[in-house]
Structure 1
Amino acid sequence: MAGCTPENWSLQDLSSALQDMHKDHKKIVVPMFQRGSGRWGKEQEKTFIDSLIKGYPVGTMLFYKTVEDNQETYILVDGLQRGNCIRKYMTNPTEFFYDSNISDEFCKNILTIVKSDNEEDYQTIRNLLTAFIKEQKTFKNLQYFNPAKEIAETFGAGYDCIGDLIIIITEFFEKRQDLYDRIASTIIPVIVYSGEEETLPEIFDRINSKGTPLDKYEIYAAAWPVNEKYTISNASIVEYVIAKYDAFTNDGYKIHGYNREDMRASKKVNAFEYLFGLSKYLVEKYEILGFNKNLSSDTVNPLAYELVNACLNDSDKIKTLYVRLRDIELDVLEVALCKAIEFVNNAISIVTKFKGNSRNANKIFHSKYQILSMISTTFKEMYVDGDFSAIAPTWNDKKNIIARNLVHFYVYDILTNYWSEGGTGKIHAAAKPNRYMNEISSRAWMVALDSFFEKSMLRAEKKNIANPKSEEFVFLNCIYLKTFTAMDQLSIEKFDVEHIAPKEQMRKLIDACDGEGLPISCIANLCYLPEYVNRSKGDKNFYQDKKYLLHVKLKDVETKYSFTEQEDMDWMDMPYEKNDFPVLKDYYTDYCTKRFEKIKHLFCESLGIEYEDIIDEEPKIVQKVVVPSNDKQQNKKAKFADKCIIRLAQELNTELIKVGRSTYISNDGNKGYVITTSKAYKQGNREKYWFAYRRNPLADLGNCKEKYVVYGCKDENTLICLPVDEIEKSIDRLNLSTDEDGEVTHWHMVFFKDNAGVVTWMMSKPEIEEISVAKYLV
């Protein structure tokens, strides 16, 4: 008949029995369902020993008494962490000595001997004595000459005081030894249970499921049948289980019912042990499952418990999962599981294995529950009716659809943070019906992408620049799928994530404007660059560093990596002043918005997503710009620069032929125009417009007899059509920007417009002067 008997054990006896050295030939062993021996942290152990020192109650231990080979053996059912901590203290009490154990009064007495009265030296005394005692294993029979000598030398007190120091230090540590002896003889109540051994797991479950910090998987270890064994083929799984128990035996414990060589030879494990080892096996074998790889050998990784439950059940039934495993051949299940994992891995590898940033080669972008959801739903489509030995006949019709949708959902869920909340419940919801059998609509993609961009634009960075997050890496990986060739993927080339508008230069611009910060790491400002290209450029953008341009083909960088043109970055060369932060922010936001629109198209093209504008799409400019009709609705849809050229064509009453990105010539070839635009910025009660005058675009105008730069100010209603000759005549009166070699990159063209509509052109040298441009207004 089952029953409980109280016994009194001293802490010394308890420690000895745990080490198989008890004077009455008693020994304590650990059951195979126990949790990891290292679960308590240093602070918990410190608190427990402090409770012993202060005489606080520390609870009871629960043993199950049996007799093995004529020796009384106690199975430790409850109290392993306390027992482990007691054993540590009894074998090495100095490990639990801290400088806080040394009182101010003791330090004061030491300082009196060395003739010092500085209270700041208290900590020096504590540090010296704590360091000394930590090197010992006991407080008993120690020699204190060396620490006394070190204290005397530290305070320059000479050697005459060493004898007095030895006396006071010896007295102090003898009191610690007396304290140790008192604790060693302290009695801790023990309850000894007698009854059927098979009931122990249930008892352990009931004790540890009532508010103690055991995790649920350790409770399952106790609640699941311990002696119900399965023979498996995977030797690696067996070794992980052996490593779990060896962690106990290496700490000096005996594991009840455990024989390493028998387990290795028979490959027999129970359900809990199998899933314990399977978790360790899967996280090492598959990078996409590499969660919590650095857990200690005796700590449960829940991955396989959750994955197998998701594959076999329609809801969270991990507590009784072992019942489902009884009727399944585990080797067959394992093979089927690996096939599902490998299918998902192959489907999403175009994103996860993409050769992007070299320093994130092994980075996992997804959450654990996201990938478990994808694997478990795939598993259920591959195998039906509990037959895991053969692929379902419907699989061939579904696998291509699922493979395409898996990569889409993989990216979509990461960009939208779908798995940031919820866990196993979401896994099962995704399978009823299979979420990954449905295509994501183009409209949903557009909303997700725009939300992703808007979220990244909410940052205000200045000193601390955010590192790219998983969603940024995933997005970048996708947009380069079409531009990175197979050779790029196979080459030894390394890549960096680069800020197109470089971080250091952006910091300087923000400082110059006295601004609070901008979203410098916005997704629209990021790109991949070959490492040698990126590092040679330094903190300049692609168009500012002439030396850099000697080593790379700018066109290749623009078309393959940055997806920018020089005019996109003109705003970085403006002469920003203290109150110009709104101008900088406006320009930067405009640049990010335009570039994101480009890379959004690339993203959709790479993944085969139908691009859909949330608003009416703006028409593309054709090669010829003909004098348009007065169709206001059609003109309303055009972009700012396009509206300017349309109005110019109207006013000139002629066709204009596009010959470059922003250059046009008249139909007869006699006149050429460079079109550039600026938003309006308030300066006092006037509007200010800023432009960069560059000579490079003039090359597109060839042999035109007359060449003009047309400045669009805020909208197409204010056009300044300046002859190039007039600009060149005044070139020495304009502020300019140069590169590091002193070569001019561009000149600053600044115009003002007052409330009366008067437009002036500002000359900066030799002194500021404004010149009317009324005769050049279109």
Structure 2
Amino acid sequence: MAGCTCENWSLQDLSSALQDMHKDNKRIVVPMFQRGKRWKKAQEQKFIDSLIKGYPVGTMLFYETYEDNKRTYILVDGLQRGNSIKKYMTNPTEFFYDDSISDEFCCSVLKLVHQSDEKELYTKIRGILTAFIKEQKTFKNLQYFSVAKQIADEFSAGFEPIEQLIEVIKIFFEERQDLYDRIASTIIPVIVYTGDENNLPEIFDRINSQGTPLDQYEVYAAAWPVKQKFAIKNADIVEHVVRKYDTFEEDDFKIHGYNREEMRTQKTVNAFEYLFGLSKYLVEKYDILAFNKNLAEDTVNPLAFELVNACLNDTDRIKTLYQNLYALDVNAFETALYKSIEFVRDSILVITKFKGNSRNANKIFHSKYQILSMISTTFKEMYAGVDFTQFSDTWQERRQKIARNLVQYYVYDIITNYWSEGGTGKIHSAAKPNRYMIEIPSRAWMVALDGFFERSMLRAEKKNIANPRSEEYVILNCIYLKTFTAMDQLSIDRFDVEHIAPKEQMRKLIEACDGDGLPISCIANLCYLPEYVNRSKGAKNFYQDKKYLQHIDLSEVESKYSFTESDDLEWMDMPYEKPEDFAVLREYYTDYCAKRFDKLKHLLCDSLEIKYEEIEPQETEVVQKVVVAKKSDDKPSKQVRFADKCIVRLAKVLNTDLVKVGRSSYRSTDGKRGYVITTSKMYTQGKREKYWFAYRTSPFDELSDCEEKYVVYGCKDENTLVVLPVPVIEEQLDRVNVSYDEDENISHWHMVFFRDTAGKMTWMLSRPNIEEIEINSFLV
């Protein structure tokens, strides 16, 4: 007959029985459904402090039985308190802290060493005594000479009252031993239950509604059948279960009904133990499932509970999931589960294992519920009913489409944050009907990509520059799928995520004009670079570091990694010096990001075989190698580069064909005249328009044979062109400001033009005094 009696146990009795060392042969064991040791250090300290102060600490619940002629008590409730009591009784000095030493005691020590009573000296005394006692395991029969000598050397300045100090310290720690003895004899009430042992899990569930609450999986450990077991083949799963129970035994707890060698030999587990071990096994075996990988051995990882339920049920039925397991061939199911995991893993491998991830080998881009949805939905496509030894009839005809769509949904869901809300319920909704059989419309892709870019551009980074997030890595991995060759993927080279407009330089530009910050880590400013290339470049961009340019193939960097041209970053060489310049910097940077992201969108769509769709379709005009003047009457599209529009208009004005010979250089068909095109946006200074350009001599290398050389300055748009002969420019170079490279050589000259409200254009000369000279005669 079931019943309860109340017994009084001393803390010493509890500790001894937990270690199977009780004088009356009593033994306390832990049930197999008991959760792990959950109290943190602070909770243990608070509990022991309550014992020291004589506060009530509640009751414990035992189930009484007899095993091996010993009265055995199964610890149903009170594991956390029992573990703290055992720790204190076996090593009380572990719970001794600085604040265990009173101010009065510190004052008495200072008097002995002839020191003034200063509060800051108390800390030193407490530190010395605490360090000393922490090296002991008891307060009994200690030798105090060394600690007394240490205090004397610290404070006495030649006077060594060793004997007096030893006596004071001895009395203090003997008082601590007396306190320990009093606590050891403290009585704690224990309720002893006798009755049907099968009722223990339900009792455990009901009484654990207070204190540190059970999570739902710890409830399953108690509520699911404990003794109903089945045999499995996977020894690694069994080993994880063994480790769970061994964590108790390592702390001298005995597990009721646990036989380590029998479990290893027979490989029999109950439903909870199986899913507990399967979770641990999955996070170790598969990188894509490595969530909460570093949990304690006795802590439940819910991954297998959620995944198996999603594979076997259409709704959230984890509470009764054990019924599914007892009704099927677990080993066949497990093999089938691995096949579905590996199919999903292999489908998205091009993204998750892309070579550029080498520095983040353990990084997971996806959320747990996203990957569980993909695996469980694939599992249901692969297998019909409960026969997990054969694929479903439709699997072979659907697998290729699913594999393709899994990659697309993997990327799409990450950049749209689809799985940021919703848990297991969202997994089930994705399976009815199979979401991954439905192709994502191209327009949805365009909206998703543009939306991600717009969110990325909302950042305002100045001092703290964000590291790339999962979304950025995923987009970059997609973009480079077709530019990285098989040799790149197999080589030992490593790759960095690089800011094309470098972080440090951007930070300095923002600070120079006292700006609020810019989205420096926007996706449009990121690229992969080979490690050796990136590290050699340092803080400068591709086009600024002359030494860097000598050691790399710039055309390869541009076509394979950066997808930029020198014109794209020329704005970085402008002199941003005043607060009003920040608006200009922001406009240039925003324009650069928008243009580069458009390139990235095209590359991503090409890699994932997505039809690129313009939200507002525009025809794109491509400027050919030969610009024919008579064709320049055609109105250029908005997509044409500013510089290209300028050269088209120049050809029209000159009524001649112009041949492109360099990135920004052109010559007439007779080869006599050469032109270098450079452009500037307009920004204001007072009531005037201001334009800034960098004059460099390198673009003229391709025009060395030309008799006449000109620089064509596009101001705001192609309708305002200033065409300056090179001799006119060079005549004034000593009077304009310059920038230098790392070798202290001039990298470029600053050309600053103004235009007033009357249309008069001037060129500002800065040295030795500021002077403006009119250049209207050079306007075309």
TM bin (shorter chain): over 0.9
Q: CA deviation at 1:90?
A: 0.7
Distance in 1 (alpha carbons) for counterparts of 2:628 and 2:519: 37
Structure 1 residues 365-376: aligned runs within 5 Å: 365-376=365-376
Is 1:47 the equivalent of 2:42? no
Q: Name the structure 1 match of 2:87.
A: 88
Is 1:605 the equivalent of 2:582? no
Q: Deviations over 1:29-61 (max 9, x none)?
A: 111001113x11100101111111122221111
Q: CA deviation at 1:701?
A: 4.7
Distance in 2 (alpha carbons) for counterparts of 1:687 and 1:304: 66
| Equivalent residues of 2:620, 2:637 under 8 A apart | no
Q: Name the structure 1 match of 2:65.
A: 66
Structure 1 residues 734-773: aligned runs within 5 Å: 734-773=736-775
| Equivalent residues of 2:233, 2:331 under 8 A apart | yes
Q: CA deviation at 1:660?
A: 4.3
| Equivalent residues of 2:115, 2:156 under 8 A apart | no
Distance in 2 (alpha carbons) for counterparts of 1:300 and 1:232: 20
Structure 1 residues 33-432: aligned runs within 5 Å: 33-37=33-37, 39-117=38-116, 118-158=118-158, 160-209=160-209, 212-432=212-432
Q: Deviations over 1:609-647 (max 9, x none)?
A: 111222233522231344458776x65665433443344
Distance in 2 (alpha carbons) for counterparts of 1:214 and 1:418: 30
| Equivalent residues of 1:149, 1:162 under 8 A apart | yes
Q: Give the match's secondary structure for 2:359.
A: helix
Distance in 2 (alpha carbons) for counterparts of 1:353 and 1:625: 49
Distance in 1 (alpha carbons) for counterparts of 2:213 and 2:460: 41
Equivalent position amino acid for 2:171 in 1: E
Distance in 2 (alpha carbons) for counterparts of 1:616 and 1:757: 36
Distance in 2 (alpha carbons) for counterparts of 1:617 and 1:251: 73
Distance in 2 (alpha carbons) for counterparts of 1:400 and 1:383: 16
Q: Name the structure 2 match of 1:554.
A: 554
Distance in 2 (alpha carbons) for counterparts of 1:451 and 1:598: 16
Aligned residues: 776
Distance in 1 (alpha carbons) for counterparts of 2:232 and 2:645: 74
Distance in 1 (alpha carbons) for counterparts of 2:354 and 2:746: 40
Structure 1 residues 491-570: aligned runs within 5 Å: 491-570=491-570
Q: Give the match's secondary structure for 2:73.
A: strand
Q: CA deviation at 1:754?
A: 1.0
Residues 356 and 629 of structure 1: is their aligned pair in 2 closer, same or farther, counting only changes over 3 Å?
A: closer
Distance in 1 (alpha carbons) for counterparts of 2:574 and 2:678: 15
Q: Name the structure 2 match of 1:676.
A: 678
| Higher mean C-alpha displacement, 381-390 vs 150-159 | 150-159
Q: CA deviation at 1:378?
A: 0.5
| Equivalent residues of 1:618, 1:638 under 8 A apart | no
| Higher mean C-alpha displacement, 335-344 vs 259-268 | 259-268
| Equivalent residues of 2:25, 2:70 under 8 A apart | yes
Equivalent position amino acid for 1:217 in 2: Y
Q: Give the match's secondary structure for 2:355.
A: coil
Distance in 2 (alpha carbons) for counterparts of 1:527 and 1:638: 24
Q: CA deviation at 1:659?
A: 4.5
| Higher mean C-alpha displacement, 453-462 vs 41-50 | 453-462
Q: Give the match's secondary structure for 1:47.
A: helix
Equivalent position amino acid for 2:51 in 1: L
| Higher mean C-alpha displacement, 517-526 vs 252-261 | 517-526
| Higher mean C-alpha displacement, 445-454 vs 661-670 | 661-670
Give the alignment's Cα RMSD to 1 decimal: 1.9
Q: CA deviation at 1:303?
A: 0.9
Q: Name the structure 2 match of 1:593.
A: 594
Q: Deviations over 1:443-474 (max 9, x none)?
A: 12122212222222222223222111111111
Equivalent position amino acid for 1:324 in 2: N
Q: CA deviation at 1:178?
A: 1.6
Residues 230 and 208 of structure 1: is their aligned pair in 2 closer, same or farther, counting only changes over 3 Å?
A: same
Q: Give the match's secondary structure for 2:191.
A: strand
Q: Name the structure 2 match of 1:732.
A: 734
Equivalent position amino acid for 1:468 in 2: P
Q: Name the structure 2 match of 1:582.
A: 583
Structure 1 residues 14-33: aligned runs within 5 Å: 14-33=14-33
Q: Deviations over 1:688-739 (max 9, x none)?
A: 1001122333344565554332212122332212223322333333322232
Distance in 2 (alpha carbons) for counterparts of 1:212 and 1:441: 49
Is 1:689 the equivalent of 2:691? yes
| Higher mean C-alpha displacement, 667-676 vs 532-541 | 667-676
Distance in 1 (alpha carbons) for counterparts of 2:569 and 2:139: 72
Q: Deviations over 1:17-39 (max 9, x none)?
A: 101111211100111001113x1
Q: CA deviation at 1:667?
A: 5.7
Q: Name the structure 2 match of 1:621.
A: 622
Gaps of 5+ in 1: none
Structure 1 residues 413-452: aligned runs within 5 Å: 413-452=413-452
Q: Deviations over 1:287-332 (max 9, x none)?
A: 1111112112111111111110111111111110001111111110
Q: CA deviation at 1:400?
A: 0.8
Distance in 1 (alpha carbons) for counterparts of 2:772 and 2:111: 83
- Taking structure 2 as the reference length, the TM-score comes to 0.96
Distance in 2 (alpha carbons) for counterparts of 1:534 and 1:636: 34
Q: CA deviation at 1:129?
A: 0.7
| Higher mean C-alpha displacement, 388-397 vs 420-429 | 420-429
Q: Give the match's secondary structure for 1:419.
A: coil
Distance in 1 (alpha carbons) for counterparts of 2:498 and 2:652: 43
Q: CA deviation at 1:99?
A: 0.4
Q: Give the match's secondary structure for 2:115.
A: coil
| Higher mean C-alpha displacement, 216-225 vs 510-519 | 510-519
- Taking structure 1 as the reference length, the TM-score comes to 0.96
Residues 637 and 341 of structure 1: is their aligned pair in 2 closer, same or farther, counting only changes over 3 Å?
A: closer
| Equivalent residues of 1:618, 1:639 under 8 A apart | no
| Equivalent residues of 1:759, 1:773 under 8 A apart | yes
Distance in 1 (alpha carbons) for counterparts of 2:761 and 2:550: 41
Q: Give the match's secondary structure for 1:7.
A: strand
| Equivalent residues of 2:621, 2:639 under 8 A apart | no
Distance in 2 (alpha carbons) for counterparts of 1:603 and 1:217: 42
| Equivalent residues of 2:369, 2:419 under 8 A apart | yes
Equivalent position amino acid for 2:568 in 1: D
| Equivalent residues of 1:241, 1:273 under 8 A apart | yes
Distance in 1 (alpha carbons) for counterparts of 2:507 and 2:745: 24
| Equivalent residues of 2:735, 2:765 under 8 A apart | yes
Distance in 2 (alpha carbons) for counterparts of 1:175 and 1:34: 37
Identity %: 73
Gaps of 5+ in 2: none
Equivalent position amino acid for 2:281 in 1: Y
Distance in 2 (alpha carbons) for counterparts of 1:103 and 1:383: 70
